[in-house]
Structure formats: C-alpha cells, structure tokens
Structure 1
Amino acid sequence: MRLLKGILLVLVTGCSQASLVPLFDSQPLDQVKPDVRALNRCQAESQGYPPYPGQLKMGSKYDQGQASKDVLDEKAARRYQSQVSAIYSYLAFLGQVTEYMRKPDPAIRAAAKECFSMAVASWAQAGALTQKDASKQGEAVRKWFLSALAMNMMKAQALTAWQVSEEQRDWLRLLADRVQIYATPRRQRMDLYNNHDYWSSWAVMAAGLVLDEPARLSWAEQGYWLAIGQITPRNGGVVLPREAARGKRAEEYHAFAITPLILMAEAGTRNGLPLYEGDGQQLHALAAQVVHFWAQDGKGVSFAQRQVAIDDHKMAWWPVYAHRFPERLPLPAGDADRFGSRFTGGSLAGLWQATP
C-alpha cells in the first residue's frame, strides 16, 4: 500500500508538467462518415474477443529444470498457449484494426477508429488483467499486454485522432500501477534484472505517453539506465549478460530485449530526455550486434551453442531505430512491415512524417 501511495503521489505531481510529445507523428484524418460495410464487419468480428475473465496464473512454457530456460516443455507450452490464447488473439485483433487506420481511404480509417473504440471499451469496462493476484508469468503477460495496448492506442491517436475515454484512462492507469508495483522491487536485484524489466519500464512509459503523465516516463527512465549499464563488451561486440545466458536462444533474447530499450530511447528523445547520449551511446553497439545476430553473418559476438534463428517479428525495433539513424543500420530492401510484433501493436514503420 505504501508503494502504491508513493506511485500515486509522484503521478499527481508529475501531471502538472507540460504535455508529452507522442511517440508517433499525427497524420490527420478527414472528417468523413465511416464505411458502413467495413464498420459492420469489424464490429461483428470484435464480438469474438470478449474481455478476458481468467486469472493471471500462467506458468512458463520453458523447462524450469534448465538454468538457461531455453528448452520448451511441450506440455507446459500447450497449457500456456491455452491460458493466453484469448489475450493474444485480442491483441492481434487490435493490431489488425490499427493497421486499417493506415489505409488511404478516409472512410475505411474512420470505420477502424470507431471499431477500435468499441473493442477497447468492453475490456476497459471489465477492468481486464488488473487483478492483484498474479503469478510471475502472469505479471509478464500483464506488462506485454500493457505495452501492446498502449502502443495500439498511440497508433490510433496518431492515425485517426482517436481519444481515450475516462474509463479507459482509469483502466490504463491501474494496469500501469500494477506493473510498477511488481517491477520496482526488482530494481534492487541486478542479478535478476533482465528483458522482463526492460519491458516493464517500456510498458509504463507507453502508458504514460497515452495518459500524458510525465512521472511514468521518469520511472521508466530509471529502469532504462539500469539496462544500459548491463551492456557489456565481449569478443568484438557487446552483449546483455542475462540474455547471453539463454543457451540456444541467446541471440533471440537479445533481439527481444533491445526492443523496449529502443522504444524508450525514441520516446525519451522526443520528450527531451538524452537517452541516446552519454552511456546511452552503447545502445548503438547493441543494435548493430543484434542486426548481426539476425543476419547470421558471424560478425561480433558468437556463442558456443548453435542459435535459434531470429524471426522478423522480434526485430520490431528496427524501423524505429532506422528512422532516427538511417545512416547507421538502414533497413533491408523490401517490406519493412514484416518487422512487427504483437507486443508493439504490429509494424511501426511509416508512423513518422519527417526525418528527425
């Protein structure tokens, strides 16, 4: 309770500051009526994603007997999938709706805006995923959910001028509070601090951007610098030691771990926080190393164990980084939209109108 009161006090004082700069550039939508067929079809589909009523008692899908946690336990993986299927399916649906907001037809975009409001409203009214009692994996699912939800909201705001309702704001605040309450004590255990904590920091920052609550960014920034301090030189490259210990998934986990760091650096930079400066310059080396991992070109760090290939969706951070630093790590030729994750609300390519 003391921790919750402390968080709320900081939020109250932080809200008096100037408005935050959104992560994405505004792309105005013409005032038109929604395409009726598209709206009806989308609203009908949204009925298939009722608010998640279950507990956050998920277990890990990896064999917990392995210190590296890189071997799937098939039985546990099936159980985990059944537990999170409704949540992840809903997030995939939100991502599809916000992708329609990119369409050139204003009527289709307007339909997507209205459908998005309906889809979010029912989950907000139910207070989905805000329960106090959660397992360790349940807390992970909550923060990934918050990240995806807030990013889809930011896309909707930028692409259609969608506005979050008071009920939705209350829901988002409670989700962010829950994430902060669980994540804050972990900052005292740097032997445990890893990608989960990076995602917690980003999820709260993303919520702060939607809610226009600067104190959320301040809390997230502290977590960002703790993560930057973990970047370690090794064999001509750099690693995150906690992720490097993930056996055959070490490279994959580096790609997963850098995503929230790049998102925080970008959002922070847009709001006057020098997150790419000073020690933050190490993020460039980490980004280059992760691209080498993805390309499997053998440059930089190599691991003794044969690595799992990195799927494109684990590289959702790349379009964000390449937009700000096009000369450093330009995107490969082809469809940049393939670099999108359900935890980032899909592809983040093309959400800015000008080079920084």
Structure 2
Amino acid sequence: MQTPKLIRPTLLSMAILSSMAWATGASAALVPPKGYDAPIEKMKTGDHNFSCEAIPKPYTDKLVFRSKYEGSDKARATLNAVSEEAFRDATKDITTLERGVSKVVMQYMRDGRPEQLDCALNMMTTWAKADALESREFNHTGKSMRKWALGSMSSAYLRLKFSESHPLANRQQDAKIIETWFSKLADQVVSDWSNLPLEKINNHSYWAAWSVMATAVATNRQDLFDWAVKEYKVAANQVDKDGFLPNEMKRRQRALSYHNYALPPLAMIASFAQANGVDLRPENNGALKRLGDRVLAGVKDPSIFADHN
C-alpha cells in the first residue's frame, strides 16, 4: 500500500454524501449498494488490443514483511527508504495481482470482451487453487497485506457478481472457487484483527473490517457481515466529540493523512450495512459525519490537526 495521501475535498465530499443516500430495506440475501448492479457499458466486438498480462506467481510463503516505518519511533511517522524498497520487492506479486484484478474488471465492465472476463477470473482462480495468502505465519505488515488484497479483489468481484449483465452466469465453477477462497481469507482476517486492545485499533482494523464486509456480501455470509458491523461500531466510538481519532493523532505530522485514510473504509462499511437494512450513521451521535467533517476541514486547513496535536 502507498503512504496515505490526502483525498481531494470534492471527491471526499461525494463519498460522504453518497453514504447518506443508500437504499434501505433488508433482504434475505446480502447485497451491495446501488451501483454494483451496473451493466456492462457496451459489448464491444471486433479488433482490440487487450492483452492479459502474465499472472503473478501465487504467494504461498509466510506473510512476514519489513515495515516501511522500520526504525521509527512510536509515532510511526518516519519512512525508512531501505525497508520500504524491501517491502515493495517482497510484496510485488501480491500488489500486481490486486491491481491487475481491479484494472481488468473495470475494463470488462466497460468493454464486455470475453477475453477480459477470462483474464480476471483466471487471475483469481489461479491464486485460489494455490491457497495463496492463507499462511498463518505472519507479522503485522503481513496480515495487513492479506486484508488489503482481499478488500481490493472482493470489491472488484462484487461488480461481476451483481451486475445486471450477469457475466458469471456461465462461470459458476470459477465463482465457487473464488468465493470459497475469499471466504477462507476473510475467516483468517477476522482472526487476525479480532480482540485487539482499543489502543491498537486504528485504520488497519477499519480496512480489515471493510475487506470482511465486501467478502460477506460476495459470499452471502451473515456472520462476516455481523463482524464488520461490530468492528465499525468500535471505530465509531473511537471518534471524539470534535471528530478526531485519538489513535490516528498519535501519528503526529501524519495525523491528517491517517484520518483521511481511516474514513473511506468506515463510509463503505456504513454504505453496505445501509443497503442491508442496518443504519450505522447514528452510532456515537453521528460519528461518521463528524469524522468526515473534521477531515474535510483539515484538508482545507491542515493547521487544525497540527494545533490539536
């Protein structure tokens, strides 16, 4: 993952506003918010220049990686260029996979070419059949890579599963392989990130909860949905009366960046919960909106965070 960068206020505002406009009403089967059912834009035929890149080697080794903040103090705010390079080298296949899946799914939803669907599904099934990313030998950076990869892939997969174009109608065996793998990864993510002391729960836990929420809907697992909702409530109750997250304030000069980074997974979890009849917006007196307002204010005037620190 890249060091968090500030989201432009206009885009962030749109994300927060969209989180207030989801369809309500519970359903027997878990569903994503409106938009994930979008059809393929145009079924293109004829000549094309699409080429499926080589599938990266499935990562089946232990998930133990160096941190890019290696050697930093408790604030974890100073980058270590050497360890960051080592981290990126060691995790290259994982990041190539998650970016590749997201990119090709987007291309397929735009163009509808069978080669694109084959490419996306082959990437995921190849890793699934290898039991990739399932190692129970990991450090903090390693378990973080697992949930980041799961979140990226499952959210992309949702667009295939729920599209009104039904691209998976004739690919049910592939879908079963992928969803079984996602389900196993989500179980491990739940294990990785459960029962942490409050002082250790921060943006990492929020992104873990988002990856589990996306997988819950992809696999129609209520237990995963409930866990993600529970973790959201913990996060919401970490937001103080002024919209700050105390554990992200510990990042000192990076506090604004990490508040900005912590917001999207919470907004997405709330969005998915709302689509399934669970309204999380009132939690802790509207914590999500309070956090969003504070981040927007900080993007406009970073001194707000510097002064608070």
Q: Which has the higher contact order (CA 8 A, sep 6+)?
A: 2
What is the aligned partner in structure 1 of residue 178 from structure 2?
168
Q: Is the contact between residue 62 and residue 77 of structure 1 (CA under 8 Å) also seen in structure 2? A: yes
Aligned ranges for residues 38-117 of structure 1 at < 5 Å? 38=48, 41-43=50-52, 45=53, 47-103=54-110, 105=111, 107-108=112-113, 110-117=114-121
What is the aligned partner in structure 2 of residue 303 from structure 1?
306
For residues 272-329 of structure 1, the C-alpha deviation after alignment (integer angstroms, 9 at most, x for no partner) is: 01111242612112112212333x3358x331499xxxxxxxxxxxxxxxxxxxxxxx
What is the aligned partner in structure 2 of residue 225 from structure 1?
233
For residues 36-88 of structure 1, the C-alpha deviation after alignment (integer angstroms, 9 at most, x for no partner) is: 754x8433x1x242322432111211044411000011211111111111111
Q: Distance in 2 between matches of 1:305 and 1:278?
A: 24
Q: Residue type of the partner of 2:287?
A: Q
Q: Given the alignment of the two structures, is residue 182 of structure 1 paired with residue 195 of structure 2, yes or no? A: no
Which deviates further from its counterpart, 159-168 or 214-223?
159-168
Q: Is the contact between residue 63 and residue 70 of structure 1 (CA under 8 Å) also seen in structure 2? A: no
Q: Residue type of the partner of 1:270?
A: A
Which deviates further from its counterpart, 284-293 or 201-210?
284-293
Q: Distance in 1 between matches of 2:214 and 2:294?
A: 25
What is the aligned partner in structure 2 of residue 118 from structure 1?
122
Which residue, out of 262, 274, 287, partners 1:282? 287
Q: Given the alignment of the two structures, is residue 213 of structure 1 paired with residue 221 of structure 2, yes or no? A: yes
What is the aligned partner in structure 1 of residue 209 from structure 2?
201
SS at match of 2:263: helix
Q: Residue type of the partner of 1:28?
A: P
Which deviates further from its counterpart, 157-166 or 58-67?
157-166
Q: Is the contact between residue 60 and residue 134 of structure 2 (CA under 8 Å) also seen in structure 1? A: no
SS at match of 2:243: strand
Q: Given the alignment of the two structures, is residue 256 of structure 1 paired with residue 261 of structure 2, yes or no? A: yes
Distance 1:115 1:37, change over 3 A: farther
Which deviates further from its counterpart, 217-226 or 274-283?
274-283
Q: Is the contact between residue 247 and residue 305 of structure 1 (CA under 8 Å) also seen in structure 2? A: no
Q: Distance in 2 between matches of 1:65 and 1:25?
A: 40
SS at match of 1:185: coil
How well do the aligned residues superpose, as a CA RMSD in angstroms? 2.4
Q: Residue type of the partner of 2:131?
A: G
Aligned ranges for residues 315-330 of structure 1 at < 5 Å? none
Distance 1:293 1:141, change over 3 A: same
Distance 1:51 1:64, change over 3 A: same
Aligned residues: 276
What is the aligned partner in structure 2 of residue 27 from structure 1?
38
Distance 1:58 1:298, change over 3 A: closer
Q: Residue type of the partner of 2:233?
A: W
SS at match of 2:305: coil
Q: Distance in 1 between matches of 2:71 and 2:246?
A: 19
Q: Residue type of the partner of 2:200?
A: L
Q: Is the contact between residue 202 and residue 264 of structure 1 (CA under 8 Å) also seen in structure 2? A: yes
Q: Distance in 2 between matches of 1:305 and 1:35?
A: 57
Q: Distance in 2 between matches of 1:278 and 1:83?
A: 39
- Structure 2 unaligned blocks of 5 or more: 1-26, 169-173
SS at match of 1:129: coil
